[in-house]
């Protein structure tokens, strides 16, 4: 009897595991089916399309790597858009991530009521919707614009500066506006992440010799939030490399001397007004490769924190 019992138990366990897996697949299925239909399929077809000539109306014509060659050889705007995109990503990516984390961490120091109020204020631009007009008012190019008029009255400039039309100011201004807007998804997910850190860890830390908040941040908070920080990193890469709404709203497209054009605004232009879907897809693929490389690199960095 006892000798038969063991294998029987194993069989039952295996069966249980198998039926468990079926339940798990069923739980995953609604997401995966819809995700496949509305994201995976479109991405795959876009990648395929990048090797074709397609004007959104006639039949796509295979063109090999022409679209990719065109980017680097023929297109005058692409190199500028690429360098603008990289500059914006390098400046706003890390800084935006830092601001979103530090502010969330600072807000978390307060009691519940003040915490809710402060995070509401920081998140307000995302709730208010279209917020670029405020910057247009501030940076307006005539003598009445708020920045121009205050600089004029202080005697720092003698004539109004065309902030948004001058190529040398465009990128810095876009960086400022973009950073100001970085208090979105990453900020709120950081707030939630901080709420989920077990307070017993902080108590234990205080007993074990954590002397100040910076110690606590480095040895307790950051290590307990690694996976939420990784989420922030990916979202930040996505937004930093995809900047296009702010430059188009402030400087227009195409901007003077392409000084504020980015890869995503180029993609939108190529697709919307030139109907060159194959070329737009090819630029998207290049952009994706850049983001993915960055993500793989930073993933390793996040894992090193707190050591």
Partner 1 sequence: MQATMSKADARRLKKLKLKAARRDQYKRFTRSKGGNFFYTLFLILFGLFSILPMYYCIITSLKPLDELLVFPPRFYVISPTFESYLTLPSLLDNLAVPLSRYAFNSIFISVATTFLHVLVGSAAAYVLAKTNIPGKKVIFAIVQMSLLYNAYTLEIPRYLIYSALGMIDTYWAYILPMIPSSMGVFLMKQFMDTNVPDALIEAAKIDGAGSFRTFWQIAMPNVKPAWLTLTLFSFRDLWSIQPAGTIFSEELKTLPFAASTIAQSGIARQGCAMAVTVIMMIPPILVYLVTQGSVTQTMSSSGIK
Q: Binders of partner 1 among 237-296, rule CB under 8 A?
A: 237-238, 241-242, 264, 267-268, 271, 277, 280-281, 284, 287-288, 291-292, 295
Which of 65, 213, 297, 301 is close enough to bind partner 1 by CB under 8 A?
213
Dihedral angle, C-alpha 169, 174, 175, 181, nearest 10 °: 150
Half-sphere exposure of residue 170: CA atoms within 13 angstroms, side-chain side:
26
CA 110 to the chain's CA centroid = 27
Helix, strand, coil share (%) of the chain residues, nearest 5: 75, 0, 25
Shortest distance (Å) from residue 75 CB to partner 1: 16
**Can residue 10 be called a binding residue for partner 1 (CB under 8 A)?**
no
Please answer whether residues 244 and 175 qualify as being in contact, where contact means their C-beta atoms are separated by less than 8 angstroms.
Answer: no
How many residues of this chain interact with partner 1, rule: CB under 8 A?
A: 103
**Can residue 98 be called a binding residue for partner 1 (CB under 8 A)?**
no
| CA distance linking residue 126 with residue 225, whole number of Å | 24
Within positions 164 to 193, which residues make up the interface with partner 1, using CB under 8 A?
180, 183, 185, 188-189, 191-193
Which of 23, 73, 156, 158 is close enough to bind partner 1 by CB under 8 A?
23
| CA distance linking residue 187 with residue 197, whole number of Å | 16
**Can residue 90 be called a binding residue for partner 1 (CB under 8 A)?**
no
**Can residue 162 be called a binding residue for partner 1 (CB under 8 A)?**
no
Count of C-beta atoms within a 10 Å radius of residue 241:
22
Which of 10, 28, 69, 157 is close enough to bind partner 1 by CB under 8 A?
28
| CA distance linking residue 45 with residue 278, whole number of Å | 10
Q: Which stretch binds partner 1 (CB under 8 A): 69-77, 85-93, 171-179, 211-219?
A: 211-219
**Can residue 303 be called a binding residue for partner 1 (CB under 8 A)?**
no
């Amino acid at each position: 009897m006892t000798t038969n019992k063991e294998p029987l138990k194993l069989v039952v366990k295996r069966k249980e595991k198998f039926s468990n897996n079926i339940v798990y697949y069923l739980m995953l299925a609604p997401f995966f089916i819809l995700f496949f239909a509305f994201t995976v399929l479109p991405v795959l077809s876009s990648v395929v399309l990048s090797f074709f000539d397609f004007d959104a109306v006639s039949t796509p014509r295979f063109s090999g790597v022409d679209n990719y060659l065109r980017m680097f050889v023929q297109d005058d705007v692409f190199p500028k858009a690429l360098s603008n995109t990289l500059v914006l990503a390098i400046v706003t990516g890390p800084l935006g991530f830092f601001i979103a984390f530090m502010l969330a961490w600072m807000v978390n120091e307060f009691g519940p009521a003040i915490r809710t109020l402060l995070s509401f204020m920081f998140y307000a631009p995302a709730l208010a919707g279209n917020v670029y007009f405020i910057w247009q008012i501030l940076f307006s190019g005539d003598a009445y614009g708020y920045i121009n008029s205050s600089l004029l009255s202080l005697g720092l400039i003698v004539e109004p500066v065309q902030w948004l039309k001058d190529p040398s100011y465009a990128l810095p201004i876009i960086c400022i506006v973009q950073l100001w807007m970085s208090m979105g998804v990453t900020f709120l997910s950081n707030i939630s992440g901080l709420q989920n850190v077990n307070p017993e860890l902080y108590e234990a830390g205080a007993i074990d010799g954590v002397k100040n908040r910076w110690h606590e941040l480095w040895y307790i908070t950051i290590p307990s939030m690694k996976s939420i920080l990784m989420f922030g990193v990916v979202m930040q890469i996505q937004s930093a490399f995809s900047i296009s709404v702010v430059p188009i709203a402030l400087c227009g497209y195409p901007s003077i001397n392409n000084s504020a054009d980015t890869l995503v605004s180029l993609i939108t232009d190529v697709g919307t007004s030139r109907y060159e879907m194959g070329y737009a897809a090819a630029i998207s693929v290049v952009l994706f490769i850049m983001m993915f490389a960055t993500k793989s690199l930073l993933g390793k960095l996040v894992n090193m924190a707190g050591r």
